[in-house]
A and B are shown apart, each in its own frame.
Chain A
Amino acid sequence: MTIRRIITRRDFVRGTVGTMTIAAGAASVTTAAVGGVTASGEHADQAPRRAPKSARVVVVRHAEALNDAHGVNLPVLDRMLADTVMRVTGQKTSKDAWLSLVKPTDTVGLVPTSHLNPTHRELVEAVRKVLVAAGIPAERIVEAQGSIDKPRACTALIAMPALKAHWLTGLGTSLKLYIMYSGRPSSYHNENNVNLADTWLLPDVKGKTRLVLLDALRPLCDKGPQPDPRYMWDYKGLIASTDPVAVDAVGLQIIMEKRKAIRGEPWPLSPPPLCVAAADERFGLGTSRLDEITIEKAGWAQDILL
């Protein structure tokens, strides 16, 4: 399923690289696919149509999640986290919510974005705290970002990426989170970035992720991964789902709307995030189509960009 064919700008205009990628990568697009060629090299009218999917993504925001110096308000964060995980799981308490995702016998790996616009440390510690409170032994909660031996030692993973654009892959969020597990992260910084979903399907990783909890407290909408404060803003949100592709699709929508607000006109991501549609349509990891995603919004509504 690895994609090797060259994808060109023409594929976007033809509408043959996935709806989400088209929307992210072109200011104005015609979606005619007659005679087009898909990302796998098949003609559009011969490509397999995938079965409809559905996903729920929760977006929880609070106006006081960050102070004026962009510092985290810990009590507010704790409440946001509880609200988020209860909404994702449908459980009535935070403890029940976490225990519906992991068991006390699990070895739970927390996987944050560790480098350049990292996941807020406060969020990682907040998750650790609630897992302990739910009855997961502290020694069974480990940080699992890095080499493949880390997820190998875990029975469950909590993916905790930060929301950021990426100059090489378009988006450097959920789908890029496990890139270090590949042992060859730089190999995904070229045309192979379309295959980032590969890393979620590695034998020591596949099926272990119980929750994707996206740190959208202070996202980066351009020039990532190197921090550029001109393109960072206090969104003050947490975004969560069990579908990593859906999380990236929603995160991508937020980034695109923010870019449009900054420039006053559509400002496409370049390169476009090929990996998001590919993760859906070629790797079957989730859905990238916003019309298949139910977005449950809670809390602060100002400038939600959705």
Chain B
Amino acid sequence: MNLPKQAGAWSRPETPRRITAQTIFDYMDGAGELYVGYRFGHLDVYEYTAVDQSLGTILVELYWMQTSDDAFGLLSTDWGGEPVGLGEAAPDGKRVQVVPPQRALYGAGLLRAWSGDLYLRILASRETPHSREIVFALARAATSGRPNPPVPAVTAVLPGGAPSPAAGGTVPEPYLLRPDRTCFFRSYLVLNSAYFLASQDLLDLGPQVEGVTTEYRSSRTGAGRMRIVLVRYPSADAARGAAVKFLQGYVPEKASQASAAAGRAKLEHGWLAWATTGASLALVLDAPSAREATTLAAASAREVARIPKTTS
């Protein structure tokens, strides 16, 4: 780790405070579940302080996650803020349009960034032009030379365009994906923070599962929006089991007659459609029509099922 000992008016201690999965709740209590929900490894905390206390402190939190997908997931919980270039190399793999392109975001003294298996938060307790400059410099130092992997596969395959269904497209016109609403998750708690589905886990989510949710918004006035929840499980059996559990918990009045493979239902908040293909489960909610919901669900589940098994 290349964090400088001295950064402008601030300096850091020799060694960081190390936070593990066992101590994260002592460090941040209810916020700890967020990180644990993403396969948290450990956290290194450096607090930069200045002789002149009126300058405040700069807190550097380095969240070392088990995979790049997990670090990405943390950034994806909130795409708000000013994009910040960290001098990273062009991403490996195909560029995707389903999330905003930036890997670092800044606002009001807080910088958040994704860099391989590292998620970092750098927070200046007093925001000034000088502290902002130092926050940016620390972020660049922490991420310098690190890999720039692609977004999680289940996120990359989200239907993102607006082709006509008649031409075999996957996103019904006139809906467009909202990249700033795309969130990668493994935990139902994180899903609920992006889109409240239920007070309990109806989808058998957890550390071995990859999920993504986003919103499609219509460009036509008054036509509303659709929500997709797309999950990739370790096996087809797990996907089917999750579909059955979801139907029993969310659509109990239809669960006994419904097929876990695919189906639709008109609910209070719009049309719901579901589809399982291989180890994938796609849910489309809030849709204005059955056609739009089933088209998107079926196509999305197929796309996830095509992800090679080696990708995780």
Which B residues lie within 8 Å of A232 (CB)?
108
**Residues B107 and A190 in contact, CB atoms below 8 Å apart:** no
Binary CB contact string for chain B from 41 to 54 against chain A (1 if under 8 A, 0 otherwise) = 00000000000001
Extra 7 A-B pairs, beta carbons < 8 Å, given A115-B28, A167-B193:
A116-B28, A189-B33, A191-B199, A194-B199, A222-B78, A225-B29, A229-B109
> Contact partner of A30 among B25, B34, B268, CB < 8 A?
B268
A177 to chain B, nearest CB (A): 13
Given A227-B123, A274-B199, A166 and B192 touching (CB < 8 A)? no
Query: Which secondary structure dominates where chain A touches chain B?
Result: loop
> Contact partner of A10 among B34, B80, B193, B250, CB < 8 A?
B250
- Give the bracket for the number of chain B residues in contact with chain A: 35 or more
**Residues A69 and B126 in contact, CB atoms below 8 Å apart:** yes
Bound complex: CA of A168 vs CA of B34, how far in Å? 9
Residue of B nearest to A29 (CB): B269
Bound complex: CA of A69 vs CA of B127, how far in Å? 9
**Residues B269 and A13 in contact, CB atoms below 8 Å apart:** yes
Binary CB contact string for chain A from 246 to 276 against chain B (1 if under 8 A, 0 otherwise) = 0000000000000000000000001110100
**Residues B29 and A185 in contact, CB atoms below 8 Å apart:** yes
| Interface, chain B (partner A; CB < 8 A) | 25, 28-31, 33-34, 54, 78, 80-81, 107-110, 123, 126-127, 189, 192-200, 202, 249-250, 267-269, 285
Bound complex: CA of A12 vs CA of B107, how far in Å? 33
Bound complex: CA of A168 vs CA of B81, how far in Å? 22
Bound complex: CA of A168 vs CA of B80, how far in Å? 20
**Residues A6 and B200 in contact, CB atoms below 8 Å apart:** yes
Asked if A226 is at the interface (CB within 8 A of a chain B CB), the reply is: yes
**Residues A172 and B30 in contact, CB atoms below 8 Å apart:** yes
Given A227-B123, A229-B107, A9 and B29 touching (CB < 8 A)? no
Bound complex: CA of A141 vs CA of B198, how far in Å? 42
Asked if A50 is at the interface (CB within 8 A of a chain B CB), the reply is: no
**Residues A271 and B192 in contact, CB atoms below 8 Å apart:** yes
**Residues B126 and A14 in contact, CB atoms below 8 Å apart:** no
Binary CB contact string for chain A from 79 to 116 against chain B (1 if under 8 A, 0 otherwise) = 00000000000000000000000000000000000011
Residue of B nearest to A3 (CB): B199
| Interface, chain A (partner B; CB < 8 A) | 6-10, 12-14, 25, 30, 69, 115-116, 166-169, 172, 185-186, 189-191, 194, 222-230, 232, 270-272, 274
**Residues A8 and B33 in contact, CB atoms below 8 Å apart:** no
**Residues B250 and A116 in contact, CB atoms below 8 Å apart:** no
Which B residues lie within 8 Å of A228 (CB)?
108, 110
Bound complex: CA of A167 vs CA of B202, how far in Å? 19
**Residues A10 and B268 in contact, CB atoms below 8 Å apart:** yes
**Residues A6 and B269 in contact, CB atoms below 8 Å apart:** no
**Residues A229 and B110 in contact, CB atoms below 8 Å apart:** yes
- The 9 closest A-B CB pairs, nearest first, are A229-B108, A13-B268, A191-B199, A226-B31, A230-B107, A7-B199, A8-B198, A271-B192, A13-B269
Which A residues lie within 8 Å of B31 (CB)?
116, 167, 224-226
Bound complex: CA of A35 vs CA of B196, how far in Å? 22
Which A residues lie within 8 Å of B196 (CB)?
9, 12, 25, 270-272
Residue of A nearest to B198 (CB): A8
Bound complex: CA of A102 vs CA of B78, how far in Å? 45
Bound complex: CA of A25 vs CA of B109, how far in Å? 29
Which A residues lie within 8 Å of B25 (CB)?
186
Bound complex: CA of A13 vs CA of B267, how far in Å? 9
Bound complex: CA of A235 vs CA of B71, how far in Å? 33
Bound complex: CA of A119 vs CA of B109, how far in Å? 21
> Contact partner of A168 among B33, B110, B195, CB < 8 A?
B33
Which A residues lie within 8 Å of B269 (CB)?
9-10, 13
Residue of B nearest to A269 (CB): B196
Most buried by A among B196, B199, B268, B285: B199
